[in-house]
A and B are shown apart, each in its own frame.
Chain A
Amino acid sequence: MDPTILMDETKLDTFRELNLLEKHRVESFKDWPFSAKSTCSIGKMAEAGFYWTGTKRENDTATCFVCAKTLDGWESEDDPWKEHLKHAPQCEFIKLGCPEKDLTVEQFLKIFCTVVNSNIEKNIKQFKSKFVKDNESKLDEFTHMLS
């Protein structure tokens, strides 16, 4: 099935930044070195849970939307599912081992729960490190000012 089936954009766009849907993962690939015919085409990558985290210089970097495992150095004959399993066997998505269209709604909701929770974790971690850093620099300023 074509993963980019027509969908009400506004309804699911909230989840775009979580790369929750295969459609959104496909659309995240702004650049990719492999053609649609190769075993790690954009479609296959998105199906196996990867979204693009590359840059112009390193355009073959992709990250799993559930376990956040980032892999680069792909080769055209790599199978994204196998690589995913090899590098992140603990991933909940790879444990289920089937593409989005074959998941049941219940399974998808579990995945969704994991993704949202790890997103919360990630954001809080980022916020905390920034917060601590900012405040430490202020403390430095304060102690230097007085000494």
Chain B
Amino acid sequence: MPRTKITKNSKRNREAANREEKIRTYELKMDSVLMSIDDLEMRYKSMVDTQLQMITSRLQTELREMKMCDFLELLLTLEHFSDFKASDQTQHFGSQSMCSNTTNGGGASTNICAAATATSSRNDEGYLTEDSSLGGAISSNSVSTISAYTGSMLRSAKAMRTPGPLHSARARRERRSRSACGASKVLVNTSSTVASSSSSNALRNSRSKMRTPMASRPKAFSADRTPRLLKKRSSSPSTPPMAFLRWPKPGEVALSKFGSPIVSQVMPDKFANVNIPIRNGVLSLRPKKLSEIKADLLENLDADTLSQIKTLHENLQLIVNTANKAGFK
């Protein structure tokens, strides 16, 4: 009885089908790989864009407008862009304000230590940074050395006067005076470190024993700061809806017990928030109703950042609208 002979044919058919299938898969895979390459390209390019925008927006005005020939020479001494701020600017600023304080105090050598302490309290918000350590170092130095320097330093420092990195400090001054010296309980803790490390000599030299050391050293305690007791909750929505943060300086351990809130490297926030890098720090927005915005905070917004915020705003609006349409409450 004859058999139907289909095996060979079907095998060939199967092979052909198999081959076509493989080619089709190949084409599909090729397309998707090429698409993901394009995607990667876009992503890397936008990464470059944002990184450079970040760098530019964080640069000091003086550095940003510096000519390349000067910058290339300066580059020898810099490791990061931010080193410029930390090493040159702050110290110039610190020494400058110290000098002006000294002269305001009549140049009397007994006032120098007090002036130096005042400098540190004005420039930092109660924790030890380069400024305060600078002031402290000088205050513990012999007084005569300083008065010898003062004349020449004053001149050179005035020449170097630039819109410094401590805009942030200046921007908040108004708020500080309003609620200054709010919680003295807290102040005892903060200034104990600073006072003991930097101004213990100063106190001994220049203050009468009758004065309370704390009262003579007015300390800012502004609304955007959280006392130590609330520290654990400081990253919750209970903090103000908008706060001004600053970037930690290179080599600085970001453990802010008091003073202006620092942008921590890791954001442990479990709630929706917006961080906007501005010229000298970060605006951090929290999901809480904002009643008014300080105009001086917005001075540091440039056109680019503003347009980015507008885009963000539109995006957020879109999310809200879509969520509303989808019936979320």
A-B contacts at CB below 8 angstroms, number:
82
Residue of A102, A112, A124 most packed against chain B (CB within 10 A): A124
A contact residues around B33 at 8 Å (CB): 131
Please report the C-alpha to C-alpha distance between residue A1 and residue B70 in the assembled complex, in whole angstroms. Answer: 11
Nearest chain B residue, comparing its CB with the CB of A119 = B48
Contact partner of B68 (CB less than 8 A), chosen from A101, A127, A139, A142, is A101
How near does chain B come to A26, taking the closest CB pair, in angstroms?
A: 14
CB-contacts of B1-49 with A (<8 A)? 15, 19, 22-23, 26, 30, 33-34, 37, 40-41, 44-45, 48-49
**What range describes how many residues of B lie at the interface?**
20 to 34
**In chain B between 45 and 65, which residues have their CB closer than 8 angstroms to a CB of chain A?**
45, 48-49, 52, 55-56, 59, 63-65
> Hey, which chain A residues are within 8 Å of B65, CB to CB?
104-106
Given A105-B59, A146-B15, A146-B19, also A117-B37 (CB < 8 A): no
Query: Is B75 within 8 A of A8, CB to CB?
Result: yes
Question: Complex formed: what's the CA distance from A116 to B55 in Å?
Answer: 15
Q: Is the CB of B37 within 8 A of A135?
A: no
Proximity bits, A108-120, B CB within 8 Å = 1, else 0: 1110110011001
Q: Is the CB of B67 within 8 A of A103?
A: yes
Among B22, B45, B49, B72, contact of A142 (Cβ-Cβ < 8 Å): B22
Would you call A104 and B52 a contact (CB within 8 A)? Answer: no
For the complex, give the distance between the alpha carbons of A128 and B41 in Å.
Answer: 11
Scan B135-160; emit 1 where CB is below 8 A from any A CB, else 0. 00000000000000000000000000
Residue pair A102, B72 in contact (C-beta under 8 Å) = no
Q: What A residues does B19 contact at CB under 8 A? A: 142-143, 146
Q: Give bound CA distance, A106 to B55, whole Å.
A: 10
Indicate which residue in A7, A102, A109, A146 contacts B56 across the interface (CB closer than 8 Å). Answer: A109
Complex partner residue of A102 from B41, B48, B68, B75, CB under 8 angstroms: B68
CB-CB under 8 A from B34, the residues of chain A are 128, 131-132
Q: Does B66 contact A (CB under 8 A)?
A: yes
Query: Nearest chain-A residue to B46 (Cβ)?
Result: A117
B41 — which chain A residues lie within 8 A by C-beta? Answer: 120-121, 124
Cβ of B293 within 8 Å of any chain A Cβ, yes or no, is: no
Nearest CB in chain B: distance from A33 CB, A: 29
Residue of B30, B45, B69, B72 touching A117 (CB-CB under 8 A): B45
Contact A8 B22 (CB under 8 A): no
Provide the residues of chain B in CB contact with A36, threshold 8 Å: none
Given A116-B48, A124-B37, A143-B23, A100 and B73 touching (CB < 8 A)? no
Which chain A residue has the least Cβ–Cβ distance from B34? A128
Query: What's the least CB distance linking A19 to chain B, in Å?
Result: 15
CA distance A36 to B95 in the complex (A): 48
Residue on B nearest A118 in the bound complex, by CB: B45
Q: How far is the CA of A109 from the CA of B71 in the complex (A)?
A: 12
Min distance, Cβ B250 to any Cβ of chain A, angstroms: 16
B108 interface residue per 8 A CB criterion:
no
Is there a chain B Cβ closer than 8 Å to A86's Cβ? no
Residues of A within 8 A of B76 (CB): 7-8, 11
A105 to B56, CA, bound (A): 9
Given known contacts A11-B75, A128-B37, A146-B15, A106 and B64 CB-to-CB distance under 8 angstroms: yes
Q: A102-B67, A105-B67 are in contact. List 13 more A-B contacts (CB 8 A).
A: A8-B76, A11-B76, A104-B67, A105-B59, A105-B64, A109-B52, A116-B48, A117-B48, A120-B44, A131-B33, A135-B30, A142-B22, A143-B23
Please give the residue numbers on chain B whose beta carbons come within 8 Å of chain A beta carbons, in ascending order.
15, 19, 22-23, 26, 30, 33-34, 37, 40-41, 44-45, 48-49, 52, 55-56, 59, 63-69, 71-73, 75-76
Residues on A facing B (Cβ under 8 Å): 1, 5, 7-8, 11-12, 21, 100-106, 108-110, 112-113, 116-117, 120-121, 124, 127-128, 131-132, 135, 139, 142-143, 146
Which 7 pairs show the lowest CB-CB distances between chains A and B? A101-B69, A106-B64, A113-B52, A124-B41, A103-B68, A117-B45, A116-B48
Sampled A-B contacts (20; CB under 8 Å): A1-B69, A5-B73, A7-B75, A8-B75, A104-B64, A104-B65, A104-B68, A105-B67, A105-B68, A105-B71, A106-B64, A120-B45, A120-B48, A121-B45, A127-B37, A128-B37, A131-B34, A139-B23, A142-B22, A146-B19
